[in-house]
Structure 1
Amino acid sequence: MAAPLHTDSGSAPIGSFLRPRDKLRLWVMSDIHLELTRGWDLPAEDARPQFDVLVVAGDLVPRAERGVKWLLEHVNDRPVIYVLGNHEFYGTDVDRTVEKAQAAAAGTNVRVLQNGIARTGNVTFAGCTLWTDFAINGDARRSMAIAAERMNDFRKIRTNRYAERFRPSHALARHKDSRAFLEAELRRPRGDEKFVIVSHHAPIPEMSVSPSGSGDDPALDAAFRSDLRALMSPAPDDGRGELRPADLWVFGHTHQSFDAVVGGSTRVLSNAKGYGPWPGQQATWDNQNFDEKLVIEI
């Protein structure tokens, strides 16, 4: 049997679900938005693709512990990597829901990663919400002010054990922590093992003709994306070890599909459903290119 999935915290392995394979098959999706979805579900078991690990890159449902419950009800025979999106924090405290989700997932096949890692065989997964640095438009201060005024994130999320409203400055601080975490992991020595990053927010600036994920409003793009391409190219040892880019970076949040190699080393992928389907429109959701059976090999 292939090695079971372990986390860096030393928790119990997910279980020996995986058959020996040269490559791991990842079923990838994000932005399912169960709270705004009617008439859609995962394909029935006999209609599902062949996969080894399910990867969910955030925005499954508000309150991450509910997301864990749903995942356990729908996929209980394969490892699941679950990273929280901004919507997971709606109506709750930004730290408390992570704690509840990780407690709900303890000892199960689901791993909730927030600046954490999990390993199976020769593949390491590093996961975080990521948030953004608000900098891609060239004026982070202005972008933070616009986001504070227009985005539900900064009305519906609490922090400091519910004592205060979550603000763009909190998101920026968490982004810096997550970037430092990812860079440290990328600088750790790792033989021939594969490395996969899963984040909710996008690690690249807009790379399509029209902005997406921000309601076609470029002023909000900085709240959806950061430019982390520096982590997608090799870098020499600066005293912290040589930086070796990830093989794959999965993200969500923008409600778009994306698949390209960036920096010559990292495949960057998004397969987000977005809101919907809506009543009377059973096959309609934000991203018409969403593939509910998308599987890639790593």
Structure 2
Amino acid sequence: MVCAGDVLSKGIFPSVRWPTQHIAPIVPVVFAAGNHEFYHSSIHECLRQVREASAHPNLHFLENDVVKIGDVAFVGGTLWSDFRLFGRDPQVAMSYARSGMNDYKRIKLSKTPFLKFKPIDAFRKHIETRDFIACELRKRRGQKSVVVTHHAPSHVRLPAGFVTIRLRLATPRIWKTSFVRQGPPCGCTATFIIETITSLAQQG
């Protein structure tokens, strides 16, 4: 089972508990956190704790990670925004996001030391995940790979009036994501099928 996040909004543990208890004993579970998993919590501590506590051999948590199940490699992470949709000035987009998005009011980057989560942190995390995915796909060129991210890699096939991060080219043939408003409910996955596999690059 692939779960691409936004299951609950009280930290990662409640979101992974149910699939760990009920699905992982039967089939492997691949889980990438959504932004809501970090609400009322902190990113650094949540990621550290979930890695330390993910003891079930069939629960695979991805945050710049890869796991191979059979002959298929699952690569991914949350994939935050780079604020460059359609080449717009990311500084302007980040300014609007900081004052208008709940992520930057409800998420902490760290509890100790206390650090607020800011758009620049999301931008840096986007770059980390984008580069990790690109590197892993290059290493696995010609092999079976599925990318799992919470945020979508492209505006293509998203509902009219709503767009997310745009990547210029490269993806694997299958990319699982859950952040699609007015489409599948949060916690479910949408599938992007991209026929041309080249190199991963940001728009801008």
Q: Does TM, scored on the shorter chain, surpass 0.5?
A: yes
Q: Deviations over 1:101-157 (max 9, x none)?
A: 222222432111100010011100002000011111412112111111111100111
Deviation of 1:167 after TM superposition, in Å, equals: 0.5
Are residue 197 (structure 1) and residue 197 (structure 2) matched? no
- Per mean C-alpha deviation after superposition, the further-off stretch among 170-179 and 139-148 is 139-148
Deviation of 1:56 after TM superposition, in Å, equals: 0.1
Q: CA RMSD in A?
A: 2.0
Residue of structure 2 equivalent to 1:104: 53
Are residue 170 (structure 1) and residue 121 (structure 2) matched? yes
Q: Is the 2:153–2:165 contact (alpha carbons within 8 Å) kept by the matching residues of 1?
A: yes
Distance 1:171 1:106, change over 3 A: same
Residue of structure 2 equivalent to 1:57: 4
* Overall identity of the aligned pairs, in %: 31
Are residue 123 (structure 1) and residue 72 (structure 2) matched? yes
Deviation of 1:190 after TM superposition, in Å, equals: 4.9
Residue of structure 1 equivalent to 2:134: 183
Unmatched segments (≥5 aa) in structure 2: 185-189, 199-204
Q: Which amino acid aligns with 1:147?
A: A
Q: Which amino acid aligns with 1:114?
A: E
| Distance in 2 separating the partners of 1:125 and 1:186 | 10
Residue of structure 1 equivalent to 2:18: 70
Residue of structure 2 equivalent to 1:140: 90
Q: Deviations over 1:75-120 (max 9, x none)?
A: 1211000000000111111121112222222243211110001001
Q: Is the 2:174–2:194 contact (alpha carbons within 8 Å) kept by the matching residues of 1?
A: no
| Distance in 1 separating the partners of 2:179 and 2:192 | 17
Deviation of 1:227 after TM superposition, in Å, equals: 1.5
Are residue 252 (structure 1) and residue 168 (structure 2) matched? no
Distance 1:109 1:261, change over 3 A: closer
Q: Is the 1:64–1:89 contact (alpha carbons within 8 Å) kept by the matching residues of 2?
A: yes
Deviation of 1:261 after TM superposition, in Å, equals: 3.1
Distance 1:64 1:190, change over 3 A: same
Residue of structure 1 equivalent to 2:202: none
Deviation of 1:263 after TM superposition, in Å, equals: 4.9
Residue of structure 2 equivalent to 1:151: 101
| Distance in 2 separating the partners of 1:130 and 1:80 | 19
Q: Is the 1:68–1:104 contact (alpha carbons within 8 Å) kept by the matching residues of 2?
A: no
Deviation of 1:205 after TM superposition, in Å, equals: 2.1
Distance 1:66 1:209, change over 3 A: closer
Q: 3-state DSSP class of the match of 1:119?
A: strand
Q: Which amino acid aligns with 2:165?
A: S
Q: Is the 1:229–1:263 contact (alpha carbons within 8 Å) kept by the matching residues of 2?
A: no
Deviation of 1:74 after TM superposition, in Å, equals: 2.3
| Distance in 2 separating the partners of 1:114 and 1:103 | 13
